[in-house]
């Protein structure tokens, strides 16, 4: 048995997890090595775990989440009025499969972005492609994509994300181009992918924010028809 040849072949096939496990088994005393069937199971399991880790790292890098937040670290102080059972219901990320949206509202510093990032982090762990945008950057991306002709390509990138997080919604006015682009994005995602919106504006103020009754009706219908609303209270957590 040529151990090095096997290791080289695994490396050439990019079976990194299998290669690592095989090397470990080969270095064990002969009488301690598992039998053939157990060895195969060990190699396959190692490869699967390695690929899962690599995929998670890729999704987290792609997501560009604002915080490396964990659902287990979310604070449920009474003054925040954050229902623990609501977060628990979202933690398995099945809401993404249902195309269910999450609308997070509250004052500056109350933890909206952290909760959104925690849900995004959980989604990446469970294999969902996730994208995070601050709304200022989101508007900039739209404008640049329109200018350089890459708008359709950019839309396709957004569409591939099963979870889209839009932070600081409502701070900067939206021009007509941004409103129409946002409508197109939400239309493409409706019922098949999820969007998390973080905003200082209460949801009942969003209609006026769009300053266009026709677009406002269409956008809010797609955002709120199938959504969980979380209105955070209390003082800023940054103090």
- Give the model confidence (pLDDT) of 170-194 as tens digits: 998 899 999 999 999 999 999 899 9
Which residues are CB-contacts of 200 (< 8 A; sequence separation ≥ 6)?
105, 106, 107, 108, 168, 170, 171
Q: Rounded to whole angstroms, how far apart are CA atoms 192 and 14? A: 33
3-state secondary structure of 91: coil
What pLDDT was estimated at residue 236? 61
| 227-231 sheet: strands from edge to edge | 130-134, 163-169, 194-199, 101-105, 227-231
- Give the model confidence (pLDDT) of 213-225 as tens digits: 999 999 999 899 8
Over residues 43-52, mean pLDDT: 82
End-to-end CA separation in angstroms for the chain? 64
What is the band of 234 on the pLDDT scale with cuts at 50, 70, 90?
Answer: low
- Give the model confidence (pLDDT) of 126-137 as tens digits: 999 999 999 999
The reported pTM is 0.84
Q: Rounded to whole angstroms, how far apart are CA atoms 210 and 220? A: 10
Check: CB of residue 178 under 8 Å from CB of residue 208. no
Check: CB of residue 74 under 8 Å from CB of residue 115. yes
Tokens of 87: 């977060």
Q: What percent of the chain is predicted at pLDDT more than 70?
A: 97
Average pLDDT, the chain: 89
Largest Cα–Cα distance of the chain, in whole Å?
Answer: 77
- Give the model confidence (pLDDT) of 139-152 as tens digits: 999 999 989 999 99
3-state secondary structure of 83: coil
41 pLDDT more than 90: no
What pLDDT was estimated at residue 30? 78
Residue ranges per domain, the chain?
A: 3-58, 64-231
* Beta-ladder partners of 163: 130, 194
- Domain 64-231 falls in which CATH fold? Rossmann fold (3.40.50)
């Amino acid at each position: 048995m040529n151990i090095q040849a096997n290791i080289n072949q695994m490396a050439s096939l990019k079976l990194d997890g299998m290669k690592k496990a095989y090397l470990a088994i080969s270095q064990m005393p002969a009488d301690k090595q598992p039998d053939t069937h157990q060895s195969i199971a060990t190699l396959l399991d190692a490869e699967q775990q390695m690929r899962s880790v690599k995929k998670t790292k890729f999704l987290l890098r792609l997501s560009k989440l604002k915080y490396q937040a964990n659902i287990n670290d979310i604070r449920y102080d009474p003054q925040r009025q954050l229902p623990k059972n609501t977060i628990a219901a979202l933690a398995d990320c099945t809401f993404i499969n249902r195309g269910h949206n999450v609308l997070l509202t509250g004052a500056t510093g109350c933890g909206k972005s952290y909760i959104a990032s925690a849900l995004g982090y959980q989604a990446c762990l469970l294999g969902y492609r996730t994208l995070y945008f601050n709304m200022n950057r989101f508007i900039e991306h739209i404008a640049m994509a329109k200018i350089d002709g890459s708008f359709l390509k950019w839309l396709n990138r957004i569409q591939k994300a099963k979870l889209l997080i839009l932070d600081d919604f409502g701070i900067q006015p939206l021009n007509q181009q941004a409103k129409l682009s946002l409508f197109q994005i939400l239309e493409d995602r409706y019922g098949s992918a999820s969007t998390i919106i973080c905003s200082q504006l209460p949801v009942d103020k969003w209609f006026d924010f769009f300053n266009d009754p026709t677009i406002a009706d269409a956008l809010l219908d797609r955002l709120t028809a199938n959504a969980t609303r979380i209105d955070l209270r209390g003082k800023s957590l940054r103090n």
